[in-house]
Amino acid sequence: MRYFFLIFVFSLSIQAQDDLLSMIESEPEKPQYVIATFKATRIVNSQSIELVRPQTLEFMIQHRFGSMENGFYDILGMDEASIRFELHYGFNEKISFGMGRSSLGKTYDIFSKIKLARQSSTFPISISSYFKTEIETKKRLSEFSERIENRLTYDSQLMFAKKINRSISLQLMPTWIHHNWVSSIDKQHDLFSIGLGGRIKLTKRVSLNADTFIPTNERETDFVQSWGIGCDIETGGHVFQLMITNVQGAFESIYIEDASGKVKGMDLFLGFNITRAFSV
């Protein structure tokens, strides 16, 4: 009888273990998140899906030389340059915010970027939103245009990105820019466009990037579609981005809507971004 009781208890324990294993196996798998869709918070000119890491302060220098059309007379535009400084702080994994100042138009800006979704084994893409307010402070000709409210421009973007494999990432950017004031009745206050960007990873630390913005509503006849081609070089604590682009400005309302350069005549601009991150 004692042996029968031991066999009965042993069989119950085996059954309980099988039930526990079946419960563990039936639990849904935790999603595996995709990381490093892009190496930096910029693709070339445009924003990327990436946010600054939590409790990290990122300092970025965006330098754009003048037009290369005069060749070595002004050393491929190096005698004339535009520069923008940016501080970008990661509040947590989903929210970051920052501010910047550009020499072009003496423009200041504040912005935020919010991660809405992350690409994972259970979700196909990453989604972020981006909002910026710009204020141009250079002197203007009329009292009306000098007003603070007429110096403001608002930029809004949704960013949809997918890391297709270890080497290729793509991004789509529906964009709205609103100018409180425009210089003539022929110009529109609200400008809509679709941005396209991508990256091809060449080595562990080097990638080739490109971006452009396609207008979706009416523009002036002399409008030039912006584009940029760049190379990312990761060097430990910072990312160095070299580029050639057809626009000198490094902030949204300029590099999306105010491109002027053309390949013919080498009316293009060399530039670079340098990013340095600090734990705070």
**What integer pLDDT is reported at residue 257 of this predicted model?**
93
Mean of pLDDT values over 17-41: 72
The verdict on residue 18 lying in a domain is: no
**What integer pLDDT is reported at residue 146 of this predicted model?**
86
Name the nearest CA neighbour of 272 among 214, 225, 229. Answer: 229
The verdict on residue 244 lying in a domain is: yes
Beta strands 81-90 and 95-102 are: antiparallel
First vs last Cα of the chain: how many Å apart?
70
Residues 6+ apart with CB under 8 A from 244: 228, 229, 230, 268, 269, 270, 271
Banded pLDDT at 183 (limits 50, 70, 90)? confident
Q: Which residue has the tokens 């208890």?
A: 9
- Is the pLDDT at 19 greater than 70? The verdict is no
Which tens digits make up the pLDDT trace of 227-277?
999 999 988 767 899 999 999 999 999 999 999 999 988 999 999 999 998
Mean of pLDDT values over 172-196: 92
The verdict on residue 129 lying in a domain is: yes
**What integer pLDDT is reported at residue 10 of this predicted model?**
41
**What integer pLDDT is reported at residue 79 of this predicted model?**
82
Can you tell me the distance from the alpha carbon of 206 to that of 170, in angstroms, rounded to the nearest whole number? 16
The verdict on residue 13 lying in a domain is: no
The verdict on residue 262 lying in a domain is: yes
Phi, psi (rounded to 5 degrees) for 236? 70, -105
The verdict on residue 245 lying in a domain is: yes
Residues 6+ apart with CB under 8 A from 251: 84, 100, 102, 104, 107, 109, 132, 134
How big is the CA angle at 209 (ends 204 and 214), to the nearest 5 degrees?
160
- Is the pLDDT at 182 greater than 90? The verdict is no
The verdict on residue 153 lying in a domain is: yes
Q: Which domain holds residue 54?
A: 30-279
Which tens digits make up the pLDDT trace of 110-141?
999 999 999 999 999 999 999 999 999 998 88
Phi, psi (rounded to 5 degrees) for 255? -70, -15
Q: Which residue has better confidence, 10 or 189?
A: 189
The SS3 assignment for 117 reads strand
- Is the pLDDT at 151 greater than 90? The verdict is yes
- Is the pLDDT at 12 greater than 80? The verdict is no
Cα dist from 50 to 39, 90, 168, whole Å: 8, 11, 15
Which tens digits make up the pLDDT trace of 35-87?
999 999 999 999 999 999 999 999 999 999 999 988 888 888 888 889 999 99
Average pLDDT for the chain = 88
Partners of 83 in the β-ladder: 63
Can you tell me the distance from the alpha carbon of 238 to that of 258, in angstroms, rounded to the nearest whole number? 29
The verdict on residue 225 lying in a domain is: yes
CB count, 10 Å around CB of 248?
23
Total domains, the chain:
1
The SS3 assignment for 192 reads strand
Residue 67 belongs to domain with CATH number: 2.40.160.40
Phi, psi (rounded to 5 degrees) for 149? -65, -25
Residue 95 identity (one-letter amino acid):
I
